[in-house]
Structure 1
Amino acid sequence: MRNKKVCMVVAHHPFMDARIFSKEAKSLQKTGYHVTMIVPRINGNLFNIDGTPYKSQFRNKVFTHEGIKFITYNWETCKNHLNKVVNDESTWEKQGFKNPLTRLAIEEDADIYHTHEYLSLFAGVGIKRLMKKQKNKDVKLIYDSHELTPDPLDPRYSEERRHLLKQKLLTMLKETDYVITVSDSIKGWYLSQMPELPVEVIYNSPPLAKNYQPKTFHNNGIMIGYEGNFDDKKGCKEKIIDIAEICSKSLEFRFKVIGGSRFGNSFSIPAHLRNTIKLTGWVDYNTLPAHLKDVDIGWVDMDNLEHSLNRNYAMPNKFFSYLNNGIPVLANKSHDIEKFIQTHKCGVVIDKTNVSAEEYAAAIKNILKDKNQFKLMSENGRKAMENLYSWEKMEQRLFQVYDQL
């Protein structure tokens, strides 16, 4: 029955996260579910996608935005409780589940609880147990694993810490009714740990871009696009400047950054490249196709792959945004992206995990040598989205998961 009540339980993501709010919550609401989202404030604030705090909007504890009901809570009052996930399971109910996120979720009296992070999954386990204990109600629990957490290669944690987090995850998954994740390799990892676990892959795909016009690639100029945010920890900005520096010397070249630095950070472009590198700033999710219309090649550079299985397995939003708009992808070598590009012949993967600006620039020049192949990659990417991967296809997978519950 699609008139059931769904509660999205969120620990870290911004309340208008593209996957959680713009796609999953709205799709579920559209098909008849009653959707509530419980989302965190940090220092009293909700945040835009780029990290900008809202100071005048969304100040009420409970509000409705674009038809979705939001309930907010203060993260600071929850984090110590939720961190008890690493304690002995016998202490979970006394020390871990007595927090505002779990309490507010129980008060919603939903039928299905859809969690989105490791710590919100812990809250979800508490919700499921306490709903049975306090209300004698059996609820369903979904873990939407946007990432592989804990990352088996993450150098921030000791091997002992990673083992502990993994064991706690496996304990929680025993009480999880369905896992949703974002790539085939992450699904494979879960099944390697628990072969009977119900797992579905729902890619981070956008709705199919409307008014799509096939690209012609007749002119001699080239525009590279990068979609997304970056912070000061990533070397992305330096690489963008270096690629622009090299390519602009021999090509009619521009680099378009849709998104850019997060709140509190900046991107300083050298004066002589200010007409070459265009920064749009953060744009509304629904306007992405319009901003991507003039982009010829979409750039994906997955960093620190030697220290992250999660990044090696990732299929980021930007990857599907490019294909959605008929934009061939240029990427470094990571497992799932390489496999996808090889399967659908929709881009170029440089056969190295760490690719320099010089190597990217050489690849761009090489792509331009064969305009027919360039056009074919564009068409292949768009066809893959139309036939298999657009959000319209992914939401059918989402509905099937919910129908099985």
Structure 2
Amino acid sequence: MKKVCILVAEHPFLDSRIFRKEAKSLYDAGYDVTMIVPRKKGYLFDINGQPFTNKFLEQTFTYEGINIVTYSFENSRSYLNKVLEEEDTWEKDAFPNPITTLAMEQDADIYHAHEYLSLFAGIGTKRLMKKTKGKDVKLIYDSHELVPDPLDSRYSEPAKKKLKEKLLIMLKEVDHVITVSDSIKNWYHTEIPNLPVDVVYNSPPLAAAPTKKTAKNSFTICYEGSIEAQKGNFKKIIGISEICTRVMKNFQFRVIGGPRYGETIHIPKSLKNTIQLTGWVEYQDIQKHMADVDIGWIDFDDLANSLNRSYALPNKFFSYLNNGVPILVNKAPEMERFVKQHKCGHVVEKAHATAKDFANAIIHLHKQKKLLEEMGQKSRAIMEMSYSWEHMQKRLLAVYENL
């Protein structure tokens, strides 16, 4: 039995892509799977950042067949941040980091890293396994996004140059890259034409066929995911709701997810009955919260400062499709291409769409019941034919088999 060790530097251990999809798929396919995951302030944490204070307290345990090995997030940072130092110092100064140390103890055949810094730990593991044990191990980099993002204004140009320089050094030792969109795959091939790269979309397992929406009084828009009060999404939700409630009867805006742990958002009194917060729900319960949704909304308006936004096909995108929900999105290139290709939603033709722009689109679509129904049917059909996790799982397992 091949042993797989998944390396995680920042994500929650129950992350839908890492645990629910990939780790579980590998386990079901017969691999022995271990995850090395961070504790923050001593605790593992949920997908909304809330610490698990009354469970998952053991340093090592098994959950749903997956072996979980934990380490201190805080103690790992000083080692992992040495990725920007000279390569000839890495072994002495950086690779005694907790992830690499624990990874070597697993003596796995394949190591699968999920972030830039866990890739760095994986490079240390691959080198030291060869040097100390004479064992050639395989290393996969699961690139959820581009790091560094060439447009990210939070980093100076020298910092981005240094991060990219080190990434290209590390990629020379990677056996396979998995990523989440065709645009990111193309970026890697522009940099390293012969790099093995496969796209495994962030799509969920195929949900039970959605029931045909019966005539109902309300018209429901949905947003799935995290909301931060200081960012623009929630202000737009308020703005869209204020405009739509003035011209549409029984308009509803449902948020599946919401603020992260420790954060709050304020809903104006006038919209208390319009904006519904479900809170964070179990992965498998998303479908029931989308059963009566008419449109799924995504707004990626920070395109000038984020190439990742332009290249993204996020979890929520496929979640809407999976439940037969047409997508409403601004002019974010990768999503725009997909929506127009498959006719599964509507694109507001602006990179920076306002609440009024989205509200006008919603009001228009509200009057186009037949069109909405057709887009919803196409959304579900393409998931069944090409994009559900059942299809993505085959891609993932093919990567492993070809190693």
Whole-angstrom distance in 2 between the partners of 1:66 and 1:60: 15
Identity across matched positions, percent: 57
What is the aligned partner in structure 1 of residue 303 from structure 2?
305
One of 129, 137, 140 as aligned partner of 2:135 = 137
Post-superposition CA distance 1:63-88 (Å, at most 9, x none) = 11122110000012111111111111
Shift of 1:211: 4.1
SS at match of 1:248: helix
- Count of paired positions: 402
Shift of 1:220: 5.3
Q: Report the residue type matching 2:236 in the other structure.
A: K
SS at match of 2:246: coil
SS at match of 2:121: helix
What is the aligned partner in structure 2 of residue 381 from structure 1?
379
What is the aligned partner in structure 1 of residue 279 from structure 2?
281
Shift of 1:230: 1.8
Shift of 1:99: 1.2
Residue pair 1:214, 1:379 contacting (<8 A) in 2 also: no
Shift of 1:122: 0.3
One of 241, 244, 247 as aligned partner of 2:241 = 244
SS at match of 1:348: strand
SS at match of 2:286: helix
One of 208, 227, 231 as aligned partner of 1:230 = 227
Q: Report the residue type matching 1:399 in the other structure.
A: L
Post-superposition CA distance 1:287-325 (Å, at most 9, x none) = 111111111100000131110001110110000000100
Q: Which runs of 5+ in 1 are unaligned?
A: none
Whole-angstrom distance in 2 between the partners of 1:211 and 1:342: 23
**Aligned runs of 1:155-194 on 2, under 5 Å?**
155-194=153-192
Which deviates more from structure 2 when the two are superposed, residues 228-237 or residues 202-211?
228-237
Residue pair 1:214, 1:326 contacting (<8 A) in 2 also: no
Whole-angstrom distance in 1 between the partners of 2:94 and 2:267: 47
Residue pair 2:301, 2:353 contacting (<8 A) in 1 also: no
SS at match of 1:167: helix
Whole-angstrom distance in 1 between the partners of 2:64 and 2:246: 47
Shift of 1:221: 2.9
Whole-angstrom distance in 1 between the partners of 2:300 and 2:145: 14
Please give the TM-score of this superposition, normalised by the length of structure 1.
0.98
Residue pair 1:63, 1:69 contacting (<8 A) in 2 also: yes
What is the aligned partner in structure 1 of residue 9 from structure 2?
11
SS at match of 2:111: strand
Q: Report the residue type matching 2:142 in the other structure.
A: D
- The answer on 1:340 being equivalent to 2:338 is yes
What is the aligned partner in structure 2 of residue 23 from structure 1?
21
Post-superposition CA distance 1:170-222 (Å, at most 9, x none) = 00000000000000000000000000000000000000011422345x44531
Whole-angstrom distance in 1 between the partners of 2:85 and 2:9: 19
Whole-angstrom distance in 2 between the partners of 1:357 and 1:57: 41
What is the aligned partner in structure 2 of residue 292 from structure 1?
290
Whole-angstrom distance in 2 between the partners of 1:367 and 1:290: 23
Whole-angstrom distance in 2 between the partners of 1:147 and 1:317: 13
Q: Report the residue type matching 1:54 in the other structure.
A: F
Q: Report the residue type matching 2:172 in the other structure.
A: K
Residue pair 1:116, 1:143 contacting (<8 A) in 2 also: yes
SS at match of 2:70: strand
Whole-angstrom distance in 2 between the partners of 1:100 and 1:13: 16
Whole-angstrom distance in 1 between the partners of 2:148 and 2:89: 22
Q: Report the residue type matching 1:229 in the other structure.
A: S
Residue pair 1:29, 1:35 contacting (<8 A) in 2 also: yes
One of 377, 389, 392 as aligned partner of 2:390 = 392
Residue pair 2:209, 2:323 contacting (<8 A) in 1 also: no
What is the aligned partner in structure 1 of residue 107 from structure 2?
109
Whole-angstrom distance in 1 between the partners of 2:62 and 2:231: 35
Whole-angstrom distance in 1 between the partners of 2:93 and 2:224: 41
Residue pair 2:213, 2:292 contacting (<8 A) in 1 also: no
What is the aligned partner in structure 1 of residue 32 from structure 2?
34
Q: Which runs of 5+ in 2 are unaligned?
A: none
Whole-angstrom distance in 2 between the partners of 1:180 and 1:232: 32
Whole-angstrom distance in 2 between the partners of 1:98 and 1:232: 39
Residue pair 2:95, 2:124 contacting (<8 A) in 1 also: yes
Q: Report the residue type matching 1:121 in the other structure.
A: L
Residue pair 1:227, 1:258 contacting (<8 A) in 2 also: yes
SS at match of 1:256: strand
Post-superposition CA distance 1:108-137 (Å, at most 9, x none) = 000000000000000000000000011100
Whole-angstrom distance in 1 between the partners of 2:313 and 2:290: 19
